[in-house]
Each structure stands twice: as C-alpha cells, then as structure tokens.
Amino acid sequence: MKKPHYLIMGGIVGLLPIVYLVGSSRGPVIQAEKKPAQAKSETREKERKPAPRGFHPDSPGSRHQARIEAEMKAAENKGMTPELAAARLKEAAGIGNIDERAMVCSHIIRELCEAGHVKEAWELIDKDFGKVRSVELDTFFASPKVNLATFEATFKELYNDEETRSAMSSRMEIHKTADLLDSLMSPQVQMQAVIDAIAEAFRIELLQREEFAVHLRTHQGVQQIRGLVDF
C-alpha cells in the first residue's frame, strides 16, 4: 500500500536536478532598479513647486514689500535729528525703486516731525516735483506736530494746485470739522488768505464730511461758516 507513495517521492527527488540545471542556464535574476522611477517622481514634484514671484516695480506686491522695508528702516531712526535725517535722505537717494524711495523718505520726514524738528523737516523735503516730494508733503502736512501757523507759512511755498489740494486734504484728516473751522477763523492764525487760495478744494473736502451736515445745524456751526466759505 505504501509503494505509490514512495514512487511519488522518488519522482520529485529525481526532478530536482533538472529544475536546478534549467534555472542555472538562465543566469542570476537581477532585481529591477527603482531609481529611474524615483527620479521621475522628484522631477514631477519640482515641476509642481511654484517659481519664485518676481514683482513688477509698480505692482501692489512690490509696493507692499517697499512699505515693509521702509518701516524696518524707519525703525532704526530712533532719536532722529536733522543731521541724521539728512544723512538718511542722502542714502535713500540711491534707491532705484521710486516707490520704495518715496516711502523711505516719507518715514524719515515723519520721524523728524515727531522728534519736534518741523522746520528742519520742511527744509529737507525734496525740491524736485515728483513722486518722492508728493509723498513727503503728504506725510509732513498730516503730522500733528505741524500746527496751522506752520501750515500757513509753508503753504505759500507749494508749487501748484495739486500740491495745495493734497496739503489741505492732509490737514482735514487730522482735524474735526468744528476744530478745523475754529482754527481757520482764529485771528492769531489768520488763515483767510489760505482759504481764499483754495476755496474750491476746501468746499469739496468739507461737503464730503458727514459730520459737517450735523455741525452746520448748530448755532456755533452757522457762526463759523458765515463769511468763511461761500456755499
């Protein structure tokens, strides 16, 4: 009964040398390299990565970057003096990007005004008409350190209507309607000449204020407006 079993086992043992010889004739099995596939994966990954953004000088991103850099540079201007401001402005003149240069210069003017050197700040404002001067003027006239008497004196030295309108707009931003009108009518300040020079710009800026309509209904408001601006 056990002979068939022995016959099967003997047949299997007899086939082993044949299997070995067939396998040896084919040579060693070489495992496929996976490097090319890995390289392709890395290449695709690199292609998916966005390229570094190069901002155009006039793009919002460029202006934002210029503003950040200007604020960082302005932070170094602690204890601002006229001499330090002059040196900083001279250094800023070498900045190629006009937006960045204007921003840096305006921060220097602001720091100088905040330090109490208003007269010196005015003297250091760029004399050439253009972007840098325009931004510096906006910063100068928007400074609370520049009082209305100084405003009147410097106002007469502005170049054109565009600068006068911008200067007046900057002053409007830091004064309430009642305070502004009261200051303009003060005999000590004598701002009537200034109002006559920019009556149209002044009316437009004032009429756009919501608080002006409320203030005009009061007796004080009527007295302030009468004879100052012809509406």
Q: Could you tell me the end-to-end alpha-carbon distance of the chain, in angstroms, rounded to an integer?
A: 130
Distance between CA atoms of 151 and 112, rounded to whole angstroms?
Answer: 16
Per-residue confidence (pLDDT) for residue 168, from 0 to 100: 76
**Tokens for 7?**
């016959």
User: Whose CA is closest to 73, among 102, 50, 33, 116?
Assistant: 102
The C-alpha atoms of residue 130 and residue 159 are separated, in whole angstroms, by 11
CB 202 within 8 A of CB 229: yes
Cβ-contact 109, 134 below 8 angstroms: no
Rounded distance between C-alpha atoms, residue 201 and residue 82, angstroms: 33
- Lowest-confidence range among 25-29, 65-69, 102-106, 159-163? 25-29
Indicate whether 88 pLDDT > 90.
yes
Nearest to 134 by CA among 157, 108, 158: 158
pLDDT tens sequence across 12-37:
656 566 655 555 555 554 554 555 55
Phi and psi, residue 79, nearest 5°? 65, 45
Q: Where are the domains of the chain?
A: 65-146, 147-231
Give pTM, 2 decimals.
0.53
Across residues 90-117, what is the average pLDDT? 93
- Dmax over CA atoms of the chain, in Å, equals 137
Span 119-168, pLDDT tens digits: 999 999 999 989 999 999 999 988 988 887 787 778 778 878 788 778 77
Nearest to 201 by CA among 228, 167, 226, 174: 167
**Degrees (nearest 5) of the Cα angle 140, 69, 50?**
140
